[in-house]
Amino acid sequence: MTSVTQAEIEKTVQAALLRHGAGAFASAEVARAVARAEAVGNRICGLYYLESYCLQLNSERVKGDVVPVVSTPRPATIVVDAQMGFAQPAFAYGLAPALDAARQFGVASLSISHAHTCTSLGYFTEQIAQAGLMAIGFTNASPIVAPPSGKSRVIGTNPIAFSVPDGAGGVAMHVDQSTTTVALGKITMAKAAGEKIPLGWALDANGEPTTDPEAALAGTLVSMGGYKGWGFGLMAELMAAGMAGGVLSHDVKPLKAPQGPPHDLGQYYLLIDPSTSSVFVERLDALRAFVSVDEGGRMPGQNRVLADPVKVDPVAWSQALELAAQS
Protein backbone atom coordinates (compact mmCIF):
# COMPACT_ATOMS: atom_id res chain seq x y z
CA MET A 1 0.00 0.00 0.00
CA THR A 2 1.07 3.59 -0.63
CA SER A 3 0.84 6.23 2.10
CA VAL A 4 -0.55 9.63 1.06
CA THR A 5 -2.32 12.43 2.93
CA GLN A 6 -5.99 13.25 2.55
CA ALA A 7 -4.94 16.64 1.17
CA GLU A 8 -2.81 14.95 -1.50
CA ILE A 9 -5.71 12.71 -2.52
CA GLU A 10 -8.10 15.65 -2.70
CA LYS A 11 -5.65 17.81 -4.69
CA THR A 12 -4.83 15.02 -7.15
CA VAL A 13 -8.46 13.99 -7.72
CA GLN A 14 -9.51 17.59 -8.23
CA ALA A 15 -6.72 18.12 -10.76
CA ALA A 16 -7.74 14.98 -12.65
CA LEU A 17 -11.39 16.05 -12.81
CA LEU A 18 -10.51 19.60 -13.88
CA ARG A 19 -8.31 18.26 -16.66
CA HIS A 20 -11.16 16.14 -17.95
CA GLY A 21 -13.73 18.91 -18.08
CA ALA A 22 -15.28 19.28 -14.63
CA GLY A 23 -15.89 22.74 -13.24
CA ALA A 24 -14.04 24.06 -10.21
CA PHE A 25 -16.89 23.62 -7.71
CA ALA A 26 -17.92 20.18 -8.95
CA SER A 27 -14.35 18.89 -8.99
CA ALA A 28 -13.73 20.19 -5.46
CA GLU A 29 -16.87 18.54 -4.07
CA VAL A 30 -16.21 15.19 -5.75
CA ALA A 31 -12.54 15.26 -4.69
CA ARG A 32 -13.57 15.86 -1.07
CA ALA A 33 -15.89 12.85 -1.20
CA VAL A 34 -13.21 10.61 -2.74
CA ALA A 35 -10.64 11.61 -0.10
CA ARG A 36 -13.15 10.96 2.67
CA ALA A 37 -13.99 7.51 1.29
CA GLU A 38 -10.32 6.57 1.22
CA ALA A 39 -9.79 7.94 4.74
CA VAL A 40 -12.51 5.69 6.20
CA GLY A 41 -11.33 2.66 4.22
CA ASN A 42 -14.25 2.65 1.78
CA ARG A 43 -12.05 2.03 -1.25
CA ILE A 44 -14.82 1.01 -3.62
CA CYS A 45 -16.22 4.57 -3.34
CA GLY A 46 -12.81 6.28 -3.49
CA LEU A 47 -10.01 6.29 -6.06
CA TYR A 48 -11.53 3.17 -7.56
CA TYR A 49 -14.09 5.43 -9.27
CA LEU A 50 -11.78 8.16 -10.53
CA GLU A 51 -10.94 6.69 -13.93
CA SER A 52 -14.62 6.18 -14.76
CA TYR A 53 -15.39 9.75 -13.69
CA CYS A 54 -12.75 11.05 -16.09
CA LEU A 55 -13.77 8.82 -18.98
CA GLN A 56 -17.42 9.74 -18.50
CA LEU A 57 -16.56 13.43 -18.42
CA ASN A 58 -14.85 12.93 -21.78
CA SER A 59 -17.88 11.16 -23.24
CA GLU A 60 -20.29 13.56 -21.50
CA ARG A 61 -22.03 10.70 -19.76
CA VAL A 62 -21.67 13.04 -16.78
CA LYS A 63 -21.83 16.81 -17.21
CA GLY A 64 -18.95 18.45 -15.40
CA ASP A 65 -19.77 22.13 -15.83
CA VAL A 66 -23.50 22.35 -15.07
CA VAL A 67 -25.02 24.37 -12.22
CA PRO A 68 -27.57 22.53 -10.05
CA VAL A 69 -31.01 24.12 -9.85
CA VAL A 70 -32.71 24.31 -6.42
CA SER A 71 -36.47 24.64 -6.01
CA THR A 72 -38.91 24.46 -3.10
CA PRO A 73 -42.29 23.22 -4.38
CA ARG A 74 -43.51 23.05 -0.75
CA PRO A 75 -42.05 24.68 2.38
CA ALA A 76 -40.34 21.51 3.67
CA THR A 77 -39.61 19.97 0.28
CA ILE A 78 -36.23 20.84 -1.24
CA VAL A 79 -35.60 19.61 -4.78
CA VAL A 80 -32.27 19.86 -6.59
CA ASP A 81 -31.95 19.13 -10.29
CA ALA A 82 -28.34 18.00 -10.80
CA GLN A 83 -28.66 18.63 -14.56
CA MET A 84 -27.04 15.24 -15.32
CA GLY A 85 -23.98 16.30 -13.33
CA PHE A 86 -22.31 14.95 -10.23
CA ALA A 87 -24.40 14.26 -7.13
CA GLN A 88 -21.92 15.84 -4.72
CA PRO A 89 -22.24 19.48 -5.86
CA ALA A 90 -26.01 19.06 -6.20
CA PHE A 91 -26.22 17.93 -2.57
CA ALA A 92 -24.04 20.86 -1.51
CA TYR A 93 -26.47 23.26 -3.18
CA GLY A 94 -29.46 21.74 -1.41
CA LEU A 95 -28.03 21.08 2.04
CA ALA A 96 -28.42 24.53 3.64
CA PRO A 97 -32.06 25.10 2.60
CA ALA A 98 -32.93 21.53 3.63
CA LEU A 99 -31.37 22.04 7.08
CA ASP A 100 -33.25 25.31 7.49
CA ALA A 101 -36.54 23.67 6.50
CA ALA A 102 -36.08 20.74 8.89
CA ARG A 103 -35.27 23.06 11.78
CA GLN A 104 -38.35 25.14 11.05
CA PHE A 105 -40.85 22.36 10.41
CA GLY A 106 -39.30 19.41 12.28
CA VAL A 107 -39.04 17.22 9.20
CA ALA A 108 -37.95 18.03 5.64
CA SER A 109 -37.04 16.16 2.49
CA LEU A 110 -34.15 16.76 0.13
CA SER A 111 -34.29 15.10 -3.25
CA ILE A 112 -31.52 15.10 -5.83
CA SER A 113 -32.71 14.30 -9.35
CA HIS A 114 -30.98 13.71 -12.69
CA ALA A 115 -27.66 12.94 -11.00
CA HIS A 116 -24.60 10.80 -11.46
CA THR A 117 -24.07 8.00 -8.94
CA CYS A 118 -23.41 9.36 -5.46
CA THR A 119 -21.21 6.34 -4.53
CA SER A 120 -21.17 6.49 -0.69
CA LEU A 121 -24.67 7.49 0.42
CA GLY A 122 -23.57 7.74 4.05
CA TYR A 123 -21.14 10.51 3.13
CA PHE A 124 -24.20 12.73 2.72
CA THR A 125 -26.32 11.58 5.68
CA GLU A 126 -23.27 12.04 7.91
CA GLN A 127 -23.07 15.71 6.95
CA ILE A 128 -26.70 16.17 7.97
CA ALA A 129 -26.05 14.49 11.33
CA GLN A 130 -23.00 16.67 11.94
CA ALA A 131 -25.36 19.62 11.55
CA GLY A 132 -27.50 18.25 14.38
CA LEU A 133 -30.27 16.44 12.49
CA MET A 134 -31.11 12.81 11.91
CA ALA A 135 -30.93 11.69 8.30
CA ILE A 136 -32.17 8.76 6.26
CA GLY A 137 -30.98 8.43 2.68
CA PHE A 138 -31.94 6.23 -0.26
CA THR A 139 -30.61 5.71 -3.77
CA ASN A 140 -30.67 3.11 -6.53
CA ALA A 141 -28.21 1.82 -9.11
CA SER A 142 -27.86 -0.29 -12.25
CA PRO A 143 -29.82 -3.57 -12.08
CA ILE A 144 -28.02 -6.54 -10.53
CA VAL A 145 -30.63 -7.98 -8.11
CA ALA A 146 -33.45 -10.38 -8.94
CA PRO A 147 -36.50 -11.11 -6.79
CA PRO A 148 -36.01 -14.04 -4.42
CA SER A 149 -36.34 -17.27 -6.44
CA GLY A 150 -36.01 -15.27 -9.66
CA LYS A 151 -33.24 -14.72 -12.21
CA SER A 152 -34.20 -11.48 -13.98
CA ARG A 153 -32.44 -8.33 -12.80
CA VAL A 154 -34.88 -5.73 -11.49
CA ILE A 155 -33.17 -3.41 -9.00
CA GLY A 156 -29.66 -2.36 -8.03
CA THR A 157 -27.77 -2.84 -4.78
CA ASN A 158 -29.89 0.15 -3.64
CA PRO A 159 -28.12 1.51 -0.56
CA ILE A 160 -29.79 2.91 2.55
CA ALA A 161 -27.97 5.20 5.00
CA PHE A 162 -28.98 6.42 8.46
CA SER A 163 -27.03 8.90 10.60
CA VAL A 164 -27.83 10.21 14.09
CA PRO A 165 -26.25 13.29 15.70
CA ASP A 166 -24.56 13.06 19.07
CA GLY A 167 -25.50 16.63 20.05
CA ALA A 168 -21.92 17.85 19.96
CA GLY A 169 -21.26 18.11 16.23
CA GLY A 170 -20.44 14.43 15.89
CA VAL A 171 -22.32 11.28 14.93
CA ALA A 172 -23.77 8.86 17.50
CA MET A 173 -24.82 6.21 14.98
CA HIS A 174 -24.01 5.73 11.32
CA VAL A 175 -25.28 3.00 9.00
CA ASP A 176 -24.39 2.96 5.31
CA GLN A 177 -25.04 -0.28 3.47
CA SER A 178 -26.34 -1.83 0.31
CA THR A 179 -29.53 -3.86 0.54
CA THR A 180 -27.63 -6.80 -0.94
CA THR A 181 -25.35 -9.09 1.06
CA VAL A 182 -22.36 -7.14 -0.30
CA ALA A 183 -21.84 -4.12 -2.50
CA LEU A 184 -21.26 -4.72 -6.20
CA GLY A 185 -17.76 -3.25 -5.89
CA LYS A 186 -16.74 -6.18 -3.69
CA ILE A 187 -17.47 -8.50 -6.61
CA THR A 188 -15.65 -6.42 -9.22
CA MET A 189 -12.63 -6.03 -6.93
CA ALA A 190 -12.52 -9.80 -6.36
CA LYS A 191 -12.60 -10.35 -10.11
CA ALA A 192 -9.77 -7.87 -10.66
CA ALA A 193 -7.70 -9.59 -7.96
CA GLY A 194 -8.39 -13.07 -9.33
CA GLU A 195 -10.05 -14.12 -6.07
CA LYS A 196 -13.08 -16.26 -5.30
CA ILE A 197 -16.08 -14.84 -3.47
CA PRO A 198 -17.88 -16.51 -0.54
CA LEU A 199 -21.01 -18.53 -1.14
CA GLY A 200 -24.11 -16.52 -0.37
CA TRP A 201 -22.99 -13.34 -2.09
CA ALA A 202 -24.26 -14.02 -5.60
CA LEU A 203 -25.97 -16.34 -8.06
CA ASP A 204 -24.89 -17.20 -11.60
CA ALA A 205 -27.04 -16.64 -14.69
CA ASN A 206 -28.91 -19.88 -13.97
CA GLY A 207 -29.80 -18.76 -10.46
CA GLU A 208 -27.31 -21.10 -8.79
CA PRO A 209 -24.98 -20.02 -5.95
CA THR A 210 -21.46 -19.24 -7.17
CA THR A 211 -18.01 -18.41 -5.84
CA ASP A 212 -16.83 -17.14 -9.24
CA PRO A 213 -16.98 -13.31 -9.40
CA GLU A 214 -17.21 -13.38 -13.20
CA ALA A 215 -20.21 -15.69 -13.03
CA ALA A 216 -21.69 -13.43 -10.36
CA LEU A 217 -21.35 -10.40 -12.61
CA ALA A 218 -23.18 -12.31 -15.33
CA GLY A 219 -25.86 -13.29 -12.82
CA THR A 220 -27.33 -11.49 -9.82
CA LEU A 221 -26.43 -10.45 -6.28
CA VAL A 222 -28.31 -11.80 -3.28
CA SER A 223 -30.51 -9.51 -1.19
CA MET A 224 -29.44 -9.41 2.45
CA GLY A 225 -31.73 -11.65 4.49
CA GLY A 226 -33.66 -12.81 1.43
CA TYR A 227 -37.14 -11.29 1.28
CA LYS A 228 -36.28 -8.78 4.02
CA GLY A 229 -33.44 -7.22 2.07
CA TRP A 230 -35.47 -7.43 -1.13
CA GLY A 231 -38.19 -5.36 0.55
CA PHE A 232 -35.71 -2.72 1.69
CA GLY A 233 -34.25 -2.63 -1.83
CA LEU A 234 -37.69 -1.96 -3.28
CA MET A 235 -38.28 0.76 -0.69
CA ALA A 236 -35.04 2.47 -1.72
CA GLU A 237 -36.05 2.08 -5.37
CA LEU A 238 -39.34 3.88 -4.84
CA MET A 239 -37.74 6.64 -2.79
CA ALA A 240 -34.95 7.28 -5.29
CA ALA A 241 -36.89 6.80 -8.51
CA GLY A 242 -40.41 7.64 -7.37
CA MET A 243 -39.81 10.50 -4.96
CA ALA A 244 -36.52 11.94 -6.19
CA GLY A 245 -37.42 11.46 -9.84
CA GLY A 246 -34.49 9.32 -10.93
CA VAL A 247 -34.93 6.47 -13.39
CA LEU A 248 -35.70 2.94 -12.29
CA SER A 249 -32.69 0.67 -11.82
CA HIS A 250 -33.94 -1.40 -14.74
CA ASP A 251 -33.13 1.48 -17.07
CA VAL A 252 -29.63 2.33 -15.76
CA LYS A 253 -26.65 1.15 -17.77
CA PRO A 254 -23.55 -0.13 -15.88
CA LEU A 255 -22.35 2.75 -13.71
CA LYS A 256 -18.69 2.64 -14.74
CA ALA A 257 -19.21 2.17 -18.48
CA PRO A 258 -17.31 4.97 -20.28
CA GLN A 259 -20.02 5.50 -22.90
CA GLY A 260 -23.79 5.60 -22.71
CA PRO A 261 -26.63 7.77 -21.47
CA PRO A 262 -26.24 9.73 -18.21
CA HIS A 263 -26.96 7.79 -15.02
CA ASP A 264 -30.01 10.01 -14.35
CA LEU A 265 -30.25 8.67 -10.80
CA GLY A 266 -32.04 10.09 -7.78
CA GLN A 267 -31.08 10.36 -4.12
CA TYR A 268 -33.74 11.01 -1.50
CA TYR A 269 -33.08 12.20 2.05
CA LEU A 270 -35.33 12.72 5.04
CA LEU A 271 -34.05 15.22 7.61
CA ILE A 272 -35.52 15.01 11.12
CA ASP A 273 -34.92 17.44 13.96
CA PRO A 274 -34.55 15.34 17.14
CA SER A 275 -35.34 18.38 19.29
CA THR A 276 -39.01 17.92 18.36
CA SER A 277 -38.95 15.08 20.93
CA SER A 278 -38.36 15.99 24.57
CA VAL A 279 -36.96 12.53 25.33
CA PHE A 280 -34.78 11.84 22.30
CA VAL A 281 -31.44 12.62 23.94
CA GLU A 282 -32.38 10.65 27.05
CA ARG A 283 -33.39 7.62 24.99
CA LEU A 284 -30.29 7.83 22.81
CA ASP A 285 -27.99 7.97 25.83
CA ALA A 286 -29.77 5.02 27.45
CA LEU A 287 -29.60 2.98 24.28
CA ARG A 288 -25.90 3.66 23.87
CA ALA A 289 -25.33 2.55 27.46
CA PHE A 290 -27.25 -0.70 26.95
CA VAL A 291 -25.34 -1.43 23.74
CA SER A 292 -21.98 -0.96 25.45
CA VAL A 293 -22.68 -3.27 28.43
CA ASP A 294 -20.94 -6.21 26.78
CA GLU A 295 -17.30 -5.90 25.80
CA GLY A 296 -17.02 -4.87 22.18
CA GLY A 297 -20.61 -3.68 22.00
CA ARG A 298 -20.98 -0.42 20.12
CA MET A 299 -23.39 1.62 18.07
CA PRO A 300 -22.86 1.24 14.31
CA GLY A 301 -20.30 3.68 13.00
CA GLN A 302 -18.61 4.23 16.35
CA ASN A 303 -14.83 3.98 16.71
CA ARG A 304 -14.31 4.89 13.07
CA VAL A 305 -10.96 6.51 12.52
CA LEU A 306 -10.22 8.96 9.72
CA ALA A 307 -6.78 7.94 8.53
CA ASP A 308 -4.33 10.66 7.63
CA PRO A 309 -2.04 9.76 6.01
CA VAL A 310 -4.11 7.15 4.19
CA LYS A 311 -2.97 3.75 2.95
CA VAL A 312 -4.17 3.61 -0.66
CA ASP A 313 -3.91 1.01 -3.37
CA PRO A 314 -0.66 1.75 -5.25
CA VAL A 315 -2.17 0.94 -8.65
CA ALA A 316 -5.15 3.25 -8.03
CA TRP A 317 -2.85 6.03 -6.79
CA SER A 318 -0.52 5.71 -9.77
CA GLN A 319 -3.52 5.89 -12.07
CA ALA A 320 -4.81 8.98 -10.26
CA LEU A 321 -1.48 10.73 -10.71
CA GLU A 322 -1.51 9.89 -14.42
CA LEU A 323 -5.05 11.20 -14.83
CA ALA A 324 -4.11 14.42 -13.03
CA ALA A 325 -1.02 14.89 -15.22
CA GLN A 326 -2.81 14.47 -18.55
CA SER A 327 -3.22 17.65 -20.57
- pLDDT for the residue numbered 303: 84
At 311, is the pLDDT very low, low, confident or very high (cuts 50, 70, 90)? very high
Contact at 8 Å (CB) between 136 and 125?
yes
Query: pLDDT, tens digit, for every residue of 49-88?
Result: 999 999 999 999 999 999 999 999 999 999 999 999 999 9
φ/ψ (deg, to 5) at 154: -125, -50
Average pLDDT over residues 202-219: 96
Query: pLDDT, tens digit, for every residue of 286-302?
Result: 999 999 999 999 999 98
- pLDDT for the residue numbered 327: 47
For the chain, percent of residues with pLDDT exceeding 90? 95
- pLDDT for the residue numbered 290: 97
Average pLDDT over residues 107-134: 98
Coil, strand or helix at 193: helix
Sorted by where each starts, the structural domains of the chain and their CATH numbers stand as 68-180+223-304 (3.30.1370.60)
Average pLDDT over residues 219-236: 97
Nearest Cα residue to 153 out of 165, 141, 170: 141
pLDDT at 167 over 80: yes
- pLDDT for the residue numbered 310: 97
pTM (predicted TM-score): 0.95
Query: Which one is predicted more confidently, 153 or 185?
Result: 153
State which amino acid sits at residue 89.
P
Average pLDDT of the chain, as a whole number: 96
